[in-house]
Amino acid sequence: MAKLPSIIVSLLPTLLLAGCPGDDPGTSDTDTGVADTGATGMESTGGDDVDMMTTGSADESGDTGNGGVSGEELYLGVCASCHGMMGEGTSLGYELQHPVRLYSNWVVRNGRPGTEFMDSVMSAYGPDVISDEQLEEIWDYLGSFPQPTTGETLYLDYCRNCHGIDAYGGVTGVNLHEPGAMLEIFEKVREGENTGNPGARNSYMPAFDATWLTDAEIQMIADHIATL
């Protein structure tokens, strides 16, 4: 595991009190009330250390970048306690590898109530706490993991967060065992639904082109669902 920069170590108590951020593609505005939380920022006050992390320490040239903190280091300092050391998921939070960035950003900025993970409520993180640039660094890191190679692991990576561990609906309420659901799987995966509105969790689905999931991988997912 990478050694955390001292600035992240100093932030851990504040960040952990605020909740566990990350890409959580399994929150429903009807089933969990995300859209009604009204969360607009982090519940904890940050202080000077938070300002340094989110804006960077300006040098004499006026540069205010990430101060050399990598996406992996940011992830380990902010997200890993709930989502696992490599984004593999834990009992407190979803698996986060290969995040869909539009939705990932939405979750970080809006938070997630503790519905599926009853002991873990994720607070909203405003740009004053973690910047858009730092989120991109985290998504780059999480997107760098190898693609799963089985129907089960592909399903857990790309589908489970929304449709549940058993594909019977999850927090979105979309049951993939309904008659005809698998007949539409290629269309749904390729075209998505309500793709510009990630806050509508019971009707939003991102579109995945062949750079995300090949036809063969979609078929592997469909075959796995049939076994559940």
What the chain holds in terms of domains, given with CATH numbers, is 6-142 (1.10.760), 151-225 (1.10.760.10)
- For the record, the structure tokens of 192 come out as 């998505």
Within 8 A by CB and 6+ apart from 113, the residues are: 27, 32, 33, 34, 37, 121
Q: Which residue has the higher pLDDT, 23 or 211?
A: 211
Residue length, the chain? Answer: 228
> For residues 110 and 130, what is the distance between their CA atoms, to the nearest angstrom?
13
pLDDT beyond 90 at 2:
no
Q: What is the pLDDT of residues 90-139, one digit of tens each?
A: 988 889 999 999 999 999 999 887 677 777 788 899 999 999 999 999 99
pTM surpassing 0.75?
no
> For residues 111 and 126, what is the distance between their CA atoms, to the nearest angstrom?
10
Q: What is the pLDDT of residues 69-86, one digit of tens each?
A: 899 999 999 999 999 999
pLDDT number for residue 138: 98
Sign of CA dihedral 170, 225, 149, 188: negative
Instruction: Name the DSSP class of 176.
Output: T
Q: What is the band of 67 on the pLDDT scale with cuts at 50, 70, 90? A: low
> For residues 79 and 219, what is the distance between their CA atoms, to the nearest angstrom?
32
> For residues 55 and 128, what is the distance between their CA atoms, to the nearest angstrom?
8
Measured torsion, CA atoms of residues 188, 149, 88, 30, in degrees rounded to the nearest 10 = 10
Q: Longest C-alpha distance within the chain, in Å?
A: 64
pLDDT number for residue 42: 31
> For residues 87 and 36, what is the distance between their CA atoms, to the nearest angstrom?
27
pLDDT number for residue 66: 60
Q: What is the pLDDT of residues 144-191, one digit of tens each?
A: 999 999 999 999 999 998 898 899 988 788 899 998 888 899 999 999
